[in-house]
């Protein structure tokens, strides 16, 4: 098997910033499809966004309802109670936590605060990393690290570290930074904690900031490196409450940083980006152990069903450690179109750097919805 390698180096000028917006397409746009088909949004089956199929927990709904009477007040700009709950949940210091309007807010703030000269990004990976670099407002260099299909898109820590070291050696005076999505989006592949810690230790040694995006780590909490931040000023961990807790519409995320870096981020961060309902909902979600247990059981069961169905129908899939799967099919554009006509939304992955028009990503949803998807995929495949 060929080893993963550096794919490309691209210097991003400020002039390219304004043209990027239309290039980035994410999942979850049920509104556009509902309008196209002239159907209610509730009739769209959305496999494009990897959200907990249980929906919002009853405890979260109760917390939101109780907070409605306080909407005339500004939200706490310091998110003090939420910070304390997160600190208790992870057993870390509340002073190194910064809450945000989804983790994407922090993804965008970090390059603006650090001003790296060079950024290393695995490919394929979440498109907002590169977008954040492009919109940072100054010229920087992005280096793509190619993940190979024949290796199931896995990262080899030793080779990744050598790439980081080479970047640092070639740019000794510039700030160095790298993103690592774990589990990776869109591949669903998890790098175990030992491997991430090895990369983090190397990043600390060569003074390169490592941003570990753990948006989907709630499905494997034992593999998180969130506690390691306290002893590594070059390690940054981002978390999202969108995927596991289904707080998608409220936009809740947080990051764990060194104290000095948090102060720099606060200088750039807009005030009141985490609203009152979101703060209360997040606290309630972290206290709901019953919901978490039910989620683990459901996702395990539905992943087994989907994998058996993929094998039975001959659909190529990559083993996933998250609540979604990357599929390889003959013609994703035509397949996506056929599914859209049935009111089914999947993620066309052709605009992920490092992937092409043979990949789609699908979320793990309820048994009823998963059966509908498998049937529709089978029909679409037969018609190609």
pLDDT at 10 over 70: no
Picking from 23-27, 65-69, 252-256, 261-265, which range would have the lowest pLDDT averaged per residue? 23-27
Global pTM reads 0.92
pLDDT in tens, 181-209: 999 999 999 999 999 999 999 999 999 99
Residue 9 has pLDDT above 60, yes or no: no
Task: Supply the pLDDT for residue 112.
Answer: 95
Listed in sequence order, the residues at least 6 apart from 93 whose beta carbon sits closer than 8 Å to its beta carbon are 87, 230
Q: What confidence score (pLDDT) does residue 379 get?
A: 86
Confidence grade of residue 333 (pLDDT, cut at 50, 70, 90): confident
Asked if the model's pLDDT at residue 217 lies above 50, the reply is yes
Q: Which of 36, 55, 51 is nearest to 342 (CA)?
A: 36
Give residue 22's pLDDT band: very low, low, confident or very high (50, 70, 90).
very low
pLDDT for the residue numbered 20: 35
**pLDDT value at position 238?**
98
DSSP secondary structure of 292-304: HHHHHHHHHHHHH
CA 136/CA 48 separation, integer angstroms: 28
The predicted pLDDT at position 25 comes to 62
Residue 58 scores a pLDDT above 50: yes
Structure-token pair, residue 372: 């509908």
Given a cut of 70, whether residue 7 has pLDDT beyond it is no
According to the model, what pLDDT value does residue 3 have?
A: 41
Q: Which domains are delineated in the chain?
A: 26-55+290-383 (3.90.1150.10), 59-286 (3.40.640.10)
Contacts of 348 (CB under 8 A, 6+ apart): 25, 332, 333, 336, 360
Q: Which of 347, 353, 325, 350 is nearest to 121 (CA)?
A: 353
Position 85 scores a pLDDT of 98
For 85-114, write each residue's pLDDT tens digit: 999 999 999 999 999 999 999 999 999 999
| pLDDT attached to residue 23 | 43
Bigger pLDDT: 131 or 2? Answer: 131
Q: Quick one: average pLDDT of 53-71?
A: 97
User: Predicted confidence band at 380 (pLDDT cuts at 50, 70, 90)?
Assistant: confident
Q: What pLDDT digit, counting tens, does each position of 112-137 carry?
A: 999 999 999 999 999 999 999 989 98
Asked whether the beta carbons of 302 and 53 are under 8 A apart, the reply is yes
Pinpoint the alpha helices (H) of the chain.
30-37, 58-67, 80-90, 103-114, 128-134, 157-170, 193-206, 259-268, 276-286, 289-313, 332-341, 367-383
* Range name among 80-89, 313-322, 334-343 with the lowest pLDDT average: 334-343
pLDDT attached to residue 29? 86
Query: What are the tens digits of pLDDT across the range 286-323?
Result: 999 999 999 999 999 999 999 999 999 999 999 999 99
């Amino acid at each position: 098997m060929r080893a993963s390698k550096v794919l490309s180096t691209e210097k991003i000028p400020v002039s390219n910033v304004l043209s990027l917006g239309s290039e980035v397409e994410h999942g979850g746009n049920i509104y556009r499809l509902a309008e196209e088909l002239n159907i209610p949004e509730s009739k769209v089956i959305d496999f494009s966004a990897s959200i907990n199929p249980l929906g919002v927990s009853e405890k979260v709904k109760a917390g939101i309802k109780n907070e409605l009477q306080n909407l005339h007040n500004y939200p706490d700009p310091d998110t003090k109670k939420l910070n304390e709950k997160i600190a208790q949940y992870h057993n870390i210091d509340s002073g190194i936590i910064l809450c945000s309007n989804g983790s994407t807010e922090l993804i965008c703030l970090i390059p603006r605060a650090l001003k790296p000269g060079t950024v290393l990004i695995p490919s394929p990976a979440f498109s907002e990393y590169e977008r954040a670099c492009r919109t940072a407002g100054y010229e920087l260099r992005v280096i793509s690290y190619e993940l190979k299909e024949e290796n199931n898109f896995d990262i080899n820590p030793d080779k990744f570290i050598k790439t980081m070291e080479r970047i640092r050696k070639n740019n000794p005076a510039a700030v160095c930074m790298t993103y690592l999505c774990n589990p990776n989006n869109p591949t669903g592949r998890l790098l175990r904690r030992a491997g991430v810690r090895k990369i983090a230790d190397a990043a600390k040694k060569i003074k390169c900031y490592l941003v570990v995006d753990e948006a989907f780590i709630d499905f494997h909490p034992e593999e998180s490196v969130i506690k390691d931040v306290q002893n590594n000023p070059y390690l940054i961990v981002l978390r999202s409450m969108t995927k596991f807790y289904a707080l998608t519409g409220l936009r809740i995320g947080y990051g764990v940083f060194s104290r000095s870096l948090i102060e720099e981020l606060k200088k750039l961060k807009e005030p009141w980006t985490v609203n009152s309902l979101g703060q209360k909902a997040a606290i309630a979600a972290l206290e709901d152990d019953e919901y978490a247990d039910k989620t683990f059981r459901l996702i395990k069961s539905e992943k087994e069903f989907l994998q058996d169905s993929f094998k039975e129908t001959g659909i190529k899939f990559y083993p996933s450690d998250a609540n979604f799967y990357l599929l390889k099919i003959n013609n994703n554009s035509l397949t996506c179109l056929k599914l859209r006509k049935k009111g089914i939304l999947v993620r066309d992955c052709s605009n992920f750097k490092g992937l092409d028009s043979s990949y789609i990503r699908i979320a793990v949803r309820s048994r009823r919805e998963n059966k509908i998807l498998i049937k529709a995929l089978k029909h679409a495949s037969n018609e190609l």
